[in-house]
Structure 1
Amino acid sequence: MAEFFSLISGSSGNASFVSDGRTNILIDCGMSGKRLSELLDAEGISPSMIDALLITHEHIDHVRGAGIISRRYKIPIYATGGTHAHMEIGNVDDEMRHIVSAGKSFEIGTIGICPFAIPHDAAEPVGYSLFCGSSKFSLATDIGKMDDGILDAVRGSEAVILESNHDVDMLRVGSYPFPLKRRILSDTGHLSNESASEAALELVKSGTKKLMLGHLSKENNSPEIAMLETYTTLTQAGVDVGSDVTLRVANRSFTTKFGEPL
């Protein structure tokens, strides 16, 4: 049975897990190796069972433990050339580094993977769509601006983890310095709740049945505010949340699942 869930998701750390029962893949590792082991162990998964680590981009909240777990468990790391060149993960043998490119599909074991370009202030960032048999799962976070390329890449996914980083009003009146506010609001920053809700509606129209809002800011958002924005947009468009689509918000510190089996 296929699995896709968030281990942690937020501005301080991110990691997700995908499995088709034969191949196990970790997407990002923005936590310590110890914390990763604790979260995986709680799901009955040993880190030694991980076949590959996909990295979206080089920011520390996505790679904090990547080098450690790669070295400790001999896990190969897949990332774009730009990400490999810029992420600081210590010494990782060349044979454990694999370069991927947006738009070029590849396979790891029994899972198909297609990276897609995302607008973010990193060297060569990507999101990922993963194909487990007939099921398609996608991770789309750290997106400054949603565009047709991303929507086209993610459309048709059964389940999606979608960024809903900030409430624009909270960010504008909050304590962040102006340059940081400008960065977050830019087209290479992070996706707002409003933009996430609009993207969510497009994905539901394409057949997505399970949505998880992720990468929430601790200072400029809350799970309740993010959920309400997307829930309202969907219901106003005639979507029956709970029947037509399952809607969740990823926890920043603990594992979050979509609900019923995928």
Structure 2
Amino acid sequence: MRFSVLASGSTGNSIYIENDEHAFLVDAGLSTRKLEKLLGEVGRDMKALDGIFVTHEHSDHIRGLGVTARKYGVPIYANEKTWKAMDGLVGNVPAEQRFVFDMETVKTFGSFDVQSFAVSHDAADPMFYIFHENGRKLVLITDTGYVSDRMKGWIREADAYVFESNHDVSMLQMGRYPWNIKRRILSDVGHVSNEDAAVAMSEVVSEKETRIYLSHLSKDNNMKDLARLSVSQTLETCGIRVGEYVHLFDTDAEQPTELVPV
């Protein structure tokens, strides 16, 4: 299993996952042209996709979904409430490309097992995904206001995480956003802060080599260096020595991460 975070942030999100048999995107929150470009930068082609898994209907996760579906004939997977919420947002997706992926279920594609789980976000029925193959585990978890004990049970002991580290609380509180937006981000259906993300990470990682990609950073209320420092310091406070077996990596809104094995 290999993956690349093609883009991550408030302007658009998409993650590419493959093995020797199948290739998928999770979300298509950028234009089709941009997705084609980003995939090309990691040496891959949209024509090889076997499906796109949708997490929720916010535009930074589905902006290019409809055009991509129609252009490439790729199957789209989302739960019922998300499909209904996307009506009118993605245009016509042919019936033969529309597949329902229920919450808290597993779909199998060859040696891939793809598991869905609920998160806490202000969308119709938001859910993220865990990819399993041959005992290896990749967890994708962003767009959640907090990480519940139930979520921690699902995501525990993965080999790699794409984990939300959305904002620095002080930057958000002192920033230019109106109060109603600040309140929404800080709420249980908003986004997790650097420190809260790190506390959750400390409770789910095990003492094995683990790669954590800090993702969905706010353009206005966070910075890569700050997120990495905050997460590192909080993990160290929780007794986890970063660099020993837990390794942190940046993601970017414009550039894909290296395509790496899990």
Seen in structure 2, the aligned counterparts of structure 1 residues 67 and 110 have a Cα distance that, compared at 3 Å, is: farther
Contact 2:158/2:205 (<8 A) preserved: no
**Aligned position for 1:69:** 68
**Aligned position for 1:107:** 108
In structure 2, distance between residues paired with 1:233 and 1:257: 26
**Aligned position for 1:124:** 125
Q: Which moved more, 1:222-231 or 1:249-258?
A: 249-258
Deviation of the 1:53 alpha carbon: 0.1
Matched AA of 1:7: L
Stretches of structure 2 lacking an aligned partner (at least 5 in a row):
none
In structure 2, distance between residues paired with 1:118 and 1:186: 13
Q: Could you say what secondary structure the match of 1:10 adopts? A: coil
Seen in structure 2, the aligned counterparts of structure 1 residues 206 and 101 have a Cα distance that, compared at 3 Å, is: farther
In structure 2, distance between residues paired with 1:179 and 1:50: 39
Per-residue CA deviation, residues 170-218 of structure 1 (Å, 9 max, x unaligned), is 1111110111111111100111111111011122237561101100000
In structure 1, distance between residues paired with 2:207 and 2:149: 13
Deviation of the 1:146 alpha carbon: 1.1
Matched AA of 1:243: E
Seen in structure 2, the aligned counterparts of structure 1 residues 261 and 100 have a Cα distance that, compared at 3 Å, is: closer
Contact 1:52/1:108 (<8 A) preserved: no
Contact 1:155/1:208 (<8 A) preserved: no
Seen in structure 2, the aligned counterparts of structure 1 residues 208 and 160 have a Cα distance that, compared at 3 Å, is: farther
Give TM-score, length-normalised by structure 2: 0.95
Which runs of structure 1 show a deviation greater than 3 angstroms over 4 or more consecutive aligned residues? 205-208
**Aligned position for 2:153:** 152
Stretches of structure 1 lacking an aligned partner (at least 5 in a row):
none
Contact 2:199/2:238 (<8 A) preserved: no
State the identity as a percent. 38
Deviation of the 1:132 alpha carbon: 2.0
Matched AA of 1:82: K
Give TM-score, length-normalised by structure 1: 0.95
**Aligned position for 2:211:** 210
Matched AA of 1:161: V
Q: Which moved more, 1:207-216 or 1:58-67?
A: 207-216
**Aligned position for 2:15:** 16
**Aligned position for 1:96:** 97
